[in-house]
Homo-oligomer: A and B are copies of this chain.
Amino acid sequence: MTTAAEQAILDAHFMARALELARKGHYTTHPNPRVGCVVVRDGQIVGEGWHERAGEPHAEVHALRAAGELARGATAYVTLEPCSHHGRTPPCADALVNAGVARVVAAMRDPNPQVAGRGLQRLADAGIAVHSGVLEAEARKLNEGFLKRMELGLPFVRVKLAMSLDGRTAMENGESQWITGPAARSAVQRLRAQAAVVLTGADTVLADGARLTVRAEELGLDAAQTALAMSRPPLRVLIDGRLRVPLDAPFFRAGPALVATCVAVEEQYANGPECLIVPGDDGQVDLRQLLIELGNRGVNEVLVEAGPRLAGAFAQLGLVDEFVIFIAGKFLGSTARPLLDWPLAHMKDAPELKITEIRAVGDDWRVTAIALPPASV
Contact = CB atoms under 8 A, between A and B. Distances in A.
A16 to B, nearest CB: 25
A336 B349 CA distance: 12
A166 B331 contact: no
Interface stretch (A41-49, A257-265, A322-330): A322-330
A165 B329 contact: no
A169 to B, nearest CB: 10
A300 B242 CA distance: 61
A116 to B, nearest CB: 34
Given A171-B345, A365-B358, A353 B340 contact: no
B330 A352 contact: yes
Nearest to A175: B347
B334 A353 contact: no
Given A165-B325, A167-B339, A353-B165, A344 B365 contact: no
B352 A165 contact: no
B171 A339 contact: no
Contacts of A336: 344
A170 to B, nearest CB: 9
A64 interface: no
A354 interface: yes
Interface string A171-191: 111011000000000000000
Contacts of A355: 165, 327, 329, 360, 365
Number of copies of this chain in the oligomer? 2
A369 B364 CA distance: 12
A334 B351 contact: no
Contacts of A238: none
A213 to B, nearest CB: 24
Contact of A331 (B331, B353, B360): B353
A334 B343 contact: yes
A312 interface: yes
Contacts of A176: 347
A335 interface: yes
B166 A340 contact: yes
A235 interface: no
Nearest to A355: B329
A360 B356 CA distance: 10
Interface of A: 163-168, 171-173, 175-176, 308, 312, 315, 323, 325, 327, 329-336, 338-347, 349-355, 358, 360, 363, 365, 367, 369, 372
Closest 5 CB pairs of A and B: A167-B167, A333-B344, A334-B338, A166-B339, A329-B353
Given A334-B344, A335-B344, 12 more contacts: A165-B323, A167-B167, A171-B347, A329-B353, A329-B372, A331-B342, A332-B347, A332-B350, A333-B343, A334-B342, A335-B343, A358-B358
23 contacts: A163-B166, A163-B167, A164-B167, A164-B350, A165-B325, A165-B367, A165-B369, A166-B339, A166-B340, A167-B168, A171-B344, A176-B347, A327-B355, A330-B352, A331-B351, A332-B347, A333-B349, A333-B350, A334-B339, A334-B341, A334-B343, A335-B343, A335-B344
